[in-house]
Chain A
Amino acid sequence: MRLPLIDEHRSDAGCGSGGCGCAGTSGAQPVASRPGMTRRSFLRTTAGATGGLAALAASLSPLRELTGDGFSMQQFLQKHYKEMTESDMNKALDRIRAQVEQRYELRPEIRDIKPLDGVEFVYALNLSRCIGCRKCVHACVAENNQSRDPEMQYIRVIEMPRGTTDIEQGDHHYDRPTVPDESHYYMPVQCHQCANPPCVKVCPVEATWQEADGIVVVDYDWCIGCRYCEAACPYWARRFNFTTPSIPRDKLNLNMSYLSNRPRPKGVMEKCHFCLHRTRQGRMPACLEVCPTGSRKFGNVLDPDSEVREVLRTKRVFVLKEDVGTLPRFFYYFDERDPLRNISVEGAGS
């Protein structure tokens, strides 16, 4: 009841005094202060609205990529790997199969291979034999469907000066006409599948974990790409997909598994997984099979007759950065005699 009265009072007082500056009728007042729609304001509003819409569209346009090959609503609603039932996993595998078929026009053989009972994988590498040819690096790229441009490499071969194990003195960009070089030795580094993995501890979403056979795996559908694990790894073993991986159609390896070498989207981490799609079916990893020198040894450390067990029993073995306490499953060893050059240890330092 009071409000209209106040309004009347104000309007009467305002115009009756003549001091408000609105000399004309009250109906003309909006024209003077708020001129409604003129040609200029129409153009301004239209330009503003168009510009605003364009800016909105431009700012949202990256979202359009979500409807591409990297995303589906089913994937978005998918459960964590450890909570998936068999039918959930089959649905996920069907989706991945369809995505690969759509993108590459090839039908992949994709499965979810579980760890074997009574198996713990261990890798051993003979530094006396490695010649630094980098065949392992590129066999790995071919086997695991890594991006070719930019090329992603899981294995990093470090050229080390003889007489030291200080990695600060090593170089992984060496590009000699021929290897091995007389004054260096070669140390390939890849994921060590640590028993105490720092990368797993830092993952905020549990997208990476250690399986029963010791392999540390990544679920590419669960990874948010924060790269904490890359920072946590003391062995530079993890890689990030800064762009959509580019794999030529004729180079795609169709033998895939969910946790290993299926094509990855942009923005997720990946790393060496001991070729689990091969090794969980009893085969050797690709890096081992291609090694021309037999420097690489792989097997089940729980089997007393395995080659790796024999290496651990009879060779002088060390792990990289033992002091950081990661308990790697990747061991380096030396032979008693240098087979490459017959140089004594004293001769190397001079």
Chain B
Amino acid sequence: MTPEAAPSSPKNRGAALNEVIASICGPLLLLLALWFVLGAAPTAPVPDAATPVVRAADIDPAPRFQRMTDPASTLIAGIRQRCNDCHALADLSRNTGEPLVQHANIMLNHGLNDRCLNCHDRADRSKLVGLHGGKLPYADVEQLCAQCHGPIYNDWKLGTHGKTLGYWNAGLGQPNRLVCTECHNPHAPAYEPIRPLPGPHTLRMGSPDPEVATHISEQRNPLIRWQDEEHGTAPQNSEQDYTEGGAH
């Protein structure tokens, strides 16, 4: 009466097949487990080179300018010459503000201070000259600047103006306090406007202002990339412009 008692019954065949299936599924599950343990895990690829948006030169922490050393020298026609090599020969300075014949690369744009000999000594060109005629070496250039820029000089002495490279703690390493001419071009001390490096890679709403937006901003805007790459061109909406949004 019982199915076990009848070897050729269909139910028994079913049990045998179940055993077969179990014997297939068991190893399959084991293989699956092995796949997890031993299988080569997918890893995010390491890119070879960065997107060349920011060059290493853009984020170089070196000072903007090299300060002059004593004795002062400069490049004339590609050759390094000491100042007095030429200036000792004759008084070569007109001191009128006319365009220079030599040193044509120097564009003097220092406000009211528009004469070479306000800062350079007439007799000894390897020195600077103070307002009252005292000679100053190039190593003490901040003393020269301080004659007109007193409050800034005071700030610089206290450390609230200017830049310190190296170490914040003199006990652990030498701080490198930059002098005036390492950040400012003494002939044109104001900073020129520069191109900003790319901004955040986040969603921005509204359409970019065509006057201020460059192609970089569009490349970096995920919304525009999403629309361009996968979903046709970006819709021209007339929402408030993002750069002037809320301003004034």
- Chain A interface residues (CB < 8 Å from chain B): 26-27, 30-31, 34-37, 42, 45-46, 49, 53, 56-57, 60, 63-69, 103-104, 119, 126, 131-135, 137-139, 141-142, 148-153, 156-157, 159, 161, 168-169, 171-180, 183-184, 243-244, 246-251, 266, 279, 281-284, 286, 288-294, 297-300, 303, 306-307, 310-311, 314-315, 335-337, 340
Contact = CB atoms under 8 A, between A and B. Distances in A.
B43 interface: yes
B245 A37 contact: no
B10 A35 contact: yes
B169 A282 contact: yes
Contact of B42 (A45, A64, A248, A289): A64
Interface of chain A: mostly helix, strand, loop or mixed: mixed
B203 to A, nearest CB: 9
Contact of B46 (A37, A42, A248, A306): A248
Nearest to A129: B161
Contact of B160 (A35, A286, A290, A311): A311
Contact of B246 (A169, A279, A281): A169
A290 B32 contact: no
B164 A284 contact: yes
Most buried by B among A173, A179, A184, A314: A173
Contacts of A294: 161-163, 178, 183
Contact of B11 (A34, A64, A169): A34
B131 interface: no
B36 A63 contact: yes
5 contacts: A56-B32, A171-B245, A286-B61, A292-B194, A307-B168
A334 B156 CA distance: 15
A147 B240 CA distance: 32
Given A148-B47, A174-B199, A307 B160 contact: yes
Most buried by A among B58, B61, B151, B165: B61
Given A65-B42, A279-B168, A314-B160, A175 B212 contact: yes
A94 to B, nearest CB: 20
Contacts of A63: 36
Interface string B159-198: 1111111111101110000100001000000010111111
Most buried by A among B13, B158, B196, B248: B196
**Shortest Cβ-Cβ A-B pairs, 8 listed:** A282-B172, A294-B163, A307-B159, A36-B14, A68-B41, A178-B193, A244-B44, A36-B10
B103 interface: no
A284 B234 CA distance: 44
A53 B201 contact: no
B6 interface: yes
A156 B200 contact: yes
A180 B195 CA distance: 9
Contact of B44 (A36, A137, A246, A298): A246
Contacts of B64: 292
Contact of A138 (B49, B167, B194, B197): B197
Contact of A292 (B6, B183, B199): B183
B46 A104 contact: yes
Interface stretch (B21-29, B72-80, B90-98, B113-121): B21-29
Given A64-B42, A139-B61, A175-B213, 7 more contacts: A64-B35, A138-B59, A282-B168, A283-B168, A292-B194, A298-B168, A307-B158
Contacts of B163: 288, 291, 293-294
A300 B193 contact: no
A53 B26 CA distance: 11
